[in-house]
Amino acid sequence: MNTGFPKDFLWGASSSAFQVEGAWDKDNKGKTVADYNSFKKSHLQADTKVASDFYHNYEEDIKLMKELGMKTYRFSISWARIIPDGEGEINQKGLDFYNKIIDKLIECDIEPFVTLYHFDLPFKLVEKYNGWESRETVYAFERFAKICFKHFGDRVKYWQPHNEQNLIVRVEERINIYDETDSWKIDKMRAQMDYNLCLAHALAVNACHEMIKESKIGAAVSSSVTYPLTSKPEDVYAARMNDNFKVYYMLDMHHYGEYPGYYMKYLEKRNIVPHMEDGDKEILKKAKMDFIAVNYYRTNCAEALPEDSQHPFGLREGTVDFSMYGLFKMSMNPNLEASEYGAAIDPSGLRVALNEYWQRYHLPVIITENGLGAKDILEDGKIHDDYRIDYLRSHINACKLAIEDGVEMIGYCPWSFTDLLSSSQGFNKRYGLVYINRTDHEVLDLKRIKKDSFYWYKEVIEKIGRASCRERV
């Protein structure tokens, strides 16, 4: 039986610190941008104070991961739990917490897969330096990365410097741009922060390769696959440029050490070229990714959007799926069904994305996020989420087809292992294979309840594992 998946394929699941840990200020942890943003919305949805309370339940959760048959667990380390103010004293209790997680994972034969920065910049760096706008934050991140490599690198092989840098910079509150209303000033700050994130990424990659023998480190990208709304040539070009501006400009920087020409043209025409220093190019070009981590949820359509006297080239409208004058206007695909939260469901788009990344960069790929957010209903102590099973089945099949196309793929980690604090809809929007018994405004008992999708995914991993064993024989 040919499953399409390699025998050492990393079947897993993902999470992030601020969305699952809770204990936001326990054991000396500092406040983060994610905490700050969540507290502003506490009257509307759950915040980071408890979340899924992984901090106090990690042993139970990891035992469930073992029961599921997971080969890897992709999680993030909270920078502010290790260094509360981002750049000062190291918090031993933070190191102890992550050491316990890593040791427990290894005890359960689960490969730790670590993200260093997942939307949770220490807030003291915002107050002191305006976050990623300053190179001081870059150097603080490099130090944080080296501390993690030193303390955890003997047991952690797989690393990501940032989660979805290309998405972080689209959402002003995630890069602590709160009060500025001038679009040009926002874009100028955004461009500088984006460049500094690239530099921080490169410094972390270089340090990882130097400090940890046989380590693997790569970028985690928020995937964009865009179809032209019509067959008009200008719409085809608009679709291509949308993917360029939302994915490939960043991956090109990480892979080649410099921005592509179309992106430099945009920065120059918009008069927002970031400050770069002598020596940066050497750092950026030295940093070589070992893989590309793909976070995939949906596809979109684009059509041409001409600039005019009121809307100059490069002006943005929107945030995550922004439109840009002179290049592209975004829309939903009328040929696809969408989730109840508005994301187009398109497994074929995942196959397209994986092929595209492989052909452009010839680097192994791993899915680090892919999932369906839904209002799961607890009935008689069970969650019957056939809709999630259908979603995962179709996307796993897309991975199989991509492998058959020749893509080197090393793992699949759906989002998420447990229900967690969704950035936009709290616990009303659930992604997990395991239900967390709480609501946005009532913590309840936080009981872990395995969904139907848990049992289905467990069977998938078992079946493919058995087939791989037979093939080896």
Strands 226-228 and 316-317: unpaired
Here the tokens at position 275 are 């400050």
Is residue 434 within 8 A of residue 456, CB to CB? The reply is: no
Here the tokens at position 154 are 């003997």
Size of the chain, expressed as the number of residues it contains: 473
- List residues with catalytic annotation: 164, 369
Tokens 């959007």 map to which residue?
305
How far apart, in whole angstroms, are the C-alpha atoms of residue 294 and residue 221? Answer: 5
CA pseudo-torsion sign 346, 375, 432, 251: positive
How far apart, in whole angstroms, are the C-alpha atoms of residue 30 and residue 440? Answer: 23
